[in-house]
């Protein structure tokens, strides 16, 4: 009997390399259990051009961050003609770019915090105080890179002077920045599988917010409340908003939507097309609650893989 060859792409060179390696290892374990033949590929050590058309039947994309979930590697998968998991070229690029995704949310009447976007050429000429006023923003204000994942580079600023300090630091590292109003309240994350919102989890970080350490370090002791402690009506509402966002961006496969719930309203912060698949990750935890085991989820992702995504 023919064993399907699955090429797991993991690691890479983004700031989320370690998380990607964890995701890859967890998925490889499940894929082996399912009886697939596994090939591993780390773009840090070899050029992706070494992946040829007959290399594998399916590519399992376990990369996170830049060049793994921003549409670049997806366009290469399309070019070589190997079916792959997760979202396609355009949805990946739009979701990774906070400015583009916010445009889509607003167009589709999905609430998102007030914000403004700065590109490098504006850094020196723009009056930040004027922009804050013009966009009806209040402190605290969040400043973050436009196209990083896993809360990398995110700063929450309670005063104008702390905002200026964060801006001076981030402008040295990034070409594009997003400033948005900080929304207090519950941190709610929704798993969307195959276009359907399957569940919502509430996070209660012990840190200031659900940052990189809170996401990936057990020592952070972030409390996971599954299902989220909101009314049944609101629970169903947030699943529907997540499905709407998923559809608006034309995402495929497994997706995670990150919300804040404040004064009875949901604000969509961002949509993640390559959510983590580690022991601490939220999508597998939500799926598990609804009797979808990790192995079953991975099997579904392989069967869902295709081209022209």
Q: Which residues pair with 257 in a beta bridge?
A: 190, 271
Q: Please tell me the pTM assigned to this model.
A: 0.91
pLDDT at 220: 64
Do 95 and 253 form a contact (C-beta atoms < 8 A)?
no
Separation in Å, CA 186 to CA 34, 160, 189, 296: 37, 25, 10, 30
Do 37 and 3 form a contact (C-beta atoms < 8 A)?
yes
End-to-end CA distance of the chain: 29
pLDDT at 54: 74
pLDDT at 208: 59
For residue 219, count other CB atoms closer than 10 A to its CB.
6
The H-assigned helical ranges of the chain are 17-33, 72-80, 89-96, 98-107, 128-134, 160-173, 212-216, 232-248, 282-289, 294-304
Helix and strand counts by DSSP (H, E) for the chain: 10, 12
Do 174 and 135 form a contact (C-beta atoms < 8 A)?
no
Two tokens, residue 95: 């979701």
pLDDT at 1: 66
Contacts of 204 (CB under 8 A, 6+ apart): 187, 222, 223, 225
Q: Which residues pair with 254 in a beta bridge?
A: 193
Q: Which domains does the chain have, with CATH numbers?
A: 5-85 (3.40.50.20), 114-181 (3.30.1490.20), 184-304 (3.30.470.20)
Q: How many Å apart are CA 213 and CA 215, to the nearest integer? A: 5
pLDDT at 124: 76
Q: How many Å apart are CA 306 and CA 186, to the nearest integer? A: 36
pLDDT in tens, the chain (309 residues): 677 999 999 999 998 999 999 999 999 999 999 999 999 999 999 999 999 877 899 999 999 988 899 999 999 999 999 999 999 999 999 999 999 999 999 999 999 999 999 888 888 767 888 889 999 999 999 999 998 765 678 899 999 999 999 998 998 889 999 999 999 999 999 999 999 999 999 998 775 555 544 455 565 678 899 999 999 999 999 999 999 999 999 999 999 999 999 999 999 999 999 999 987 799 999 999 999 999 999 999 999 999 999
Catalytic (active-site) positions: 16, 150, 216, 256, 258, 270, 272, 276
For residue 174, count other CB atoms closer than 10 A to its CB.
17
H or E element that contains 224: strand 223-225
């Amino acid at each position: 009997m023919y064993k399907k060859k699955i090429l797991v792409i993991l690691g890479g060179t983004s700031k989320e390399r370690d998380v990607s390696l964890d995701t890859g290892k967890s998925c490889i374990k499940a894929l082996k259990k399912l009886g697939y033949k596994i090939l591993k590929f780390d773009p840090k050590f070899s050029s992706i051009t070494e992946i040829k058309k007959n290399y594998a039947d399916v590519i399992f994309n376990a990369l996170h961050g830049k060049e793994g979930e921003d549409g670049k590697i997806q366009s290469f998968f399309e070019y070589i003609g190997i079916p792959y998991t997760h979202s396609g070229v355009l949805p990946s690029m739009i979701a990774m770019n906070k400015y583009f995704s916010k445009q889509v949310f607003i167009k589709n009447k999905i609430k998102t915090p007030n914000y403004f976007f700065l590109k490098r050429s504006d850094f020196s000429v723009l009056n930040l105080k004027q922009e804050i006023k013009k966009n009806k923003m209040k402190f605290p204000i969040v400043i973050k890179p436009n196209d990083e994942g896993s809360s990398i580079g995110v700063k929450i600023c309670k005063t104008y002077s702390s905002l200026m300090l964060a801006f001076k630091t981030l402008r040295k590292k990034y070409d594009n920045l997003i400033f948005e109003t900080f929304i207090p309240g519950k941190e709610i994350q929704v798993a969307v599988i195959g276009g359907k919102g399957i569940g919502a989890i509430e996070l209660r970080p012990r840190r200031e917010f659900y940052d990189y350490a809170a996401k990936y370090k057990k020592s952070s002791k972030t409390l996971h409340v599954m299902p989220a402690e909101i009314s049944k009506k609101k629970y169903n509402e947030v699943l529907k908003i997540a499905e709407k966002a998923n559809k608006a961006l034309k995402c495929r496969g497994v997706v995670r939507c990150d919300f804040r719930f404040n004064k009875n309203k949901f604000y969509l912060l961002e949509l993640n097309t390559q959510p983590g698949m580690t022991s601490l990750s939220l999508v597998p935890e939500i799926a598990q609650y609804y009797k979808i085991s990790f192995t079953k989820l991975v099997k579904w992702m392989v069967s869902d893989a295709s081209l022209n995504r």
